[in-house]
Amino acid sequence: EVQLVQSGAEVKKPGESLKISCKGSGYSFTSYWIGWVRQMPGKGLEWMGIIYPGDSDTRYSPSFQGQVTISADKSISTAYLQWSSLKASDTAMYYCARLDSSSLEFDPWGQGTLVTVSS
């Protein structure tokens, strides 16, 4: 079974750093793009960026370029999303999802990681 399992919920203070993870299993992790999607409370889905773990090629949405860093460690089939200095406005649910290379469909999705940033 193809599966993406994300790290657990985080509560952080403004200014702190954070790295959340997404571990893939059941498929060749290096052969598919992995994307990160933000969903702020009560809002829609926003694409943040994608990474190809095979060569770490990374593309960012213009809205998130410079705000976050996406990386991957293919030796442990894990992708990461990190912040160097969190803001209250980063409070959201973050999903990772595998991107099909032909249809560009996101499937499957991870279960989501809730990040709460509050002083």
Partner 1 sequence: NFMLTQPHSVSESPGKTVTISCTRSSGSIASNYVQWYQQRPGSAPTTVIYEDNQRPSGVPDRFSGSIDSSSNSASLTISGLKTEDEADYYCQSYDSSNPVVFGGGTKLTVL
Footprint of partner 1 (CB under 8 A): 33, 35, 37, 44-47, 50, 59, 61-62, 95, 97, 99-100, 103-107, 109-112
Least CB distance to partner 1 at residue 2 (A): 12
Number of neighbours of residue 113 by Cβ within 10 angstroms: 21
Beta carbons of 17 and 85 less than 8 angstroms apart: yes
Smaller CB distance to partner 1: residue 42 or 75? 42
Say how far apart CA 90 and CA 107 lie, in whole Å. Answer: 24
- Minimum CB–partner distance for residue 109 and partner 1 (Å): 4
The smaller minimum CB distance to partner 1, of residues 5 and 16, is found at 5
- The distance between the two most distant Cα atoms of the chain, rounded to a whole number of Å, is 44
Q: Which residue number, 75 or 102, has a Cβ lying nearer to partner 1?
A: 102
* Calpha distance 96→71 (Å, rounded): 12
